[in-house]
Structure 1
């Protein structure tokens, strides 16, 4: 009561704060659903293989189609949001994601399901690309870190929920439920966005959309993603051909952007050292995080003889640690600044990687380093996203948000292929059903020595870019 008398509440401030909370609730759901849909689908692959009488390679496209659509289009939809309106496009993405979830649940054939997952990935691209862009528009700058931390927590919650929730739903109602579970929160996210997100301001002049650049970028990213995912880590002639196609696509994209009247990505942005550092470190860190998801299940099942239920529970510890760290990470970033927070997060990840590589094989020697890695990741991601998004003009937020998500997705795809291949080579076997605990442990050790090296590289890059302002004034020029 004394505080209220000394500092009477300002109704306008209270109304703005309440509106910001509802906006964050909408954005939190919009970031949680794509993460949940990624992790829960992985758990459902065995059930889908049985339901559709398909091989593992065939049902794997249920995951690949989703990741391909999301990775290929995430930059383009971010740019499209600047032109067509972020609110309108985000609501379209939520609606598309929710409707595609229904189509997945009623799929009569595997091809139908794969196509519906691609549409769901398009909706997820819109949701992930535009949520961070809204933070800079509706949240005060001094609270940006806390908001980014909340969104990071929700993403981690979605990833953590997937294995356990998916197992329960498949054992109960059936595989259809892992898609139907998206519908209630999808409807709620749509209604909250419709009610609370700020209206799109009509622009006096809308620049043209770069159709050629969009097609070339989509082709390049699709070729790279397919090269990394096809063959399950074993590179053949097709993988090499796809990588060459991606390289050619990159060259053509650069040529097209130089001559475009309204380029999808202004090439002068890519000369900004601080922005490049933020994107590159994000990709490196995501590569390491994917290593924990790829290597962890094989290590826990073969080294300790755990069944699938216990493996799933232990695999959830990391995302839970990240979820619990997300909101405190935002407050730490607001208090210490982005560079110290970035270095603390990366140092925690490096320590966890070295511990996994050097500690004797034990459950405690796995869980403790994993908590270090994932909590450090939550702090790094919050600080890095805040640094990159903090100084960007309104006209570039959607594009840069899309680039951040793209760097993360490319890191995840690269990690699944590169780190998985290192693990297989280090273990000395491709048949893990009969691999010895010693071989699997050796594979884990070598994999995380490499992972620690990648994190140390990210630390060096972050320190080197310290003297460069996070975002140059050039970002405020006309897009």
Structure 2
């Protein structure tokens, strides 16, 4: 194993390390996308109701959310390479368990375990990129990461359709095994070890409190949006406030906190986190609500719906490399404000589509959203990672992932709320709210322009 240098890896090793990360991120992102597409088939084959089958998705997301920060903290303590490699191994083996599942219960349990593996991959991948790339090229490295995520999201429906056209749904999970093991072998050879590690200790009580805090938050948001008993929602919020208060208080007393709330004292870090949550909430509001509009209102089929949604992630793929280079010369606050302004404009234009829009009317609006989001995402990730001290990169990486998950979870819950409040115009209301969230994110991003640009610590 080759140790990292103080400023990135030499080129031959850098390419191998990036390939190991690219494969790991690809399978973990693809897995969520292809499972969404195959859900009706899985429900039918396992004799499960549509409502119960949602747990195939929720179990995966919930496991990631409640364990992401704990695994990021372990990365700071034990090394990012070790956590990433263990994550790949767990993800690959539990993918096989998913493929062999013969009931909804066993599949759900396997998905929980698979989610823990995915959380380990996601919790430290950006921290590893900070070690792999020289500081002057960090923006490019993070842009490649954003490009891989966007491409995997875009390819998800196509990959699922291709596999299901000649094989049964278990192969959607089985295909992860060879790819994950290939990434693991590459990681063994090329991924660097931390040159700096945190000197603290892992706190199991904080890990439990973290899981309860985020688990209760997701339960309360989802419950309120789905119209559950108000008494239950209030009880969950009360428990969240009590446990969350003690959790944050405990973190402030530790030198290596699991939830690095002390990093929020860095103004540009805190503003970038707020921008990330708002922007991912806006993205989820649109991406969850639009398929209902395209299919139920415009009468498009599933294939047409997938094609009409594709310009968004494809535009991110096209813009991400440019954004990664621009961050070397332009302040992230300015890039973010410009990108999020375009994103908000695209969302408002989608909300004001004509009654019977042509495909082109939808496509260019979707592309505008993707261009705006792509221009914002890489520079924002760069700022979050590089504004934290180098030995706290794992915590910053975990916070980045947590902000994305909180935004996505909140956005999905808000879609359900909009559909319950406005049964006839749920998508229209969701898109207007999404545009408002993106506008708020643009304003928050603009506040960062007065902050000095992040530098290596």
* TM norm structure 1: 0.88
Q: Give 1:211 shift.
A: 1.7
Q: Is the aligned partner of 1:218 residue 2:244? A: no
Equivalent in the alignment of 1:387: 383
Equivalent in the alignment of 2:64: 70
Q: Is the aligned partner of 1:175 residue 2:172? A: no
1:180-209: CA deviations, max 9, x gaps?
121222112111111111134596x84211
Tell me, yes or no, if the aligned pair for 2:196 and 2:391 is still in contact at 8 Å.
Answer: no
Equivalent in the alignment of 2:298: 304
Larger radius of gyration: 1
Equivalent in the alignment of 1:250: 244
Q: Is the aligned partner of 1:468 residue 2:417? A: no
Equivalent in the alignment of 2:431: 448
Alpha-carbon RMSD: 2.2
Q: Give 1:262 shift.
A: 4.5
Q: Give 1:364 shift.
A: 2.7
Tell me, yes or no, if the aligned pair for 1:146 and 1:331 is still in contact at 8 Å.
Answer: yes
CA distance in 1 between counterparts of 2:127 and 2:392 reads 9
Equivalent in the alignment of 1:53: 47
Equivalent position SS for 1:334? coil
Please list every run of 5 or more consecutive structure 2 residues that lacks an aligned counterpart in the other structure: 1-6
Tell me, yes or no, if the aligned pair for 1:219 and 1:249 is still in contact at 8 Å.
Answer: yes
- Of 20-29 and 188-197, more deviation after overlay is shown by 20-29
Q: How many residues align?
A: 448
CA distance in 2 between counterparts of 1:71 and 1:134 reads 20
Equivalent position SS for 1:53? coil
1:164-186: CA deviations, max 9, x gaps?
22123223211101111212221
Q: Give 1:410 shift.
A: 0.7
CA distance in 2 between counterparts of 1:470 and 1:408 reads 22
Q: Give 1:345 shift.
A: 1.2
1:253-290: CA deviations, max 9, x gaps?
02322444643235432233221111111111111111
CA distance in 1 between counterparts of 2:123 and 2:144 reads 16
Equivalent position SS for 1:451? helix
**CA shift in 2, pair 1:330/1:177, >3 Å:** same
Tell me, yes or no, if the aligned pair for 2:331 and 2:453 is still in contact at 8 Å.
Answer: no
Q: Is the aligned partner of 1:199 residue 2:182? A: no
Tell me, yes or no, if the aligned pair for 1:388 and 1:470 is still in contact at 8 Å.
Answer: no
Alignment of 1:214-293 (within 5 A): 214-230=207-223, 233-237=226-230, 238-260=232-254, 262-293=256-287
Q: Give 1:444 shift.
A: 2.9
Equivalent position SS for 2:300? coil
Tell me, yes or no, if the aligned pair for 1:272 and 1:471 is still in contact at 8 Å.
Answer: no
CA distance in 1 between counterparts of 2:269 and 2:453 reads 7
Tell me, yes or no, if the aligned pair for 1:94 and 1:189 is still in contact at 8 Å.
Answer: yes
Equivalent in the alignment of 1:401: 397
Q: Give 1:163 shift.
A: 1.4
CA distance in 2 between counterparts of 1:243 and 1:472 reads 38
CA distance in 1 between counterparts of 2:392 and 2:8 reads 29
CA distance in 2 between counterparts of 1:229 and 1:187 reads 35
Equivalent in the alignment of 1:38: 32
Q: Is the aligned partner of 1:350 residue 2:344? A: yes
Tell me, yes or no, if the aligned pair for 1:75 and 1:399 is still in contact at 8 Å.
Answer: yes
* TM norm structure 2: 0.92
**CA shift in 2, pair 1:232/1:50, >3 Å:** farther
Q: Is the aligned partner of 1:124 residue 2:118? A: yes
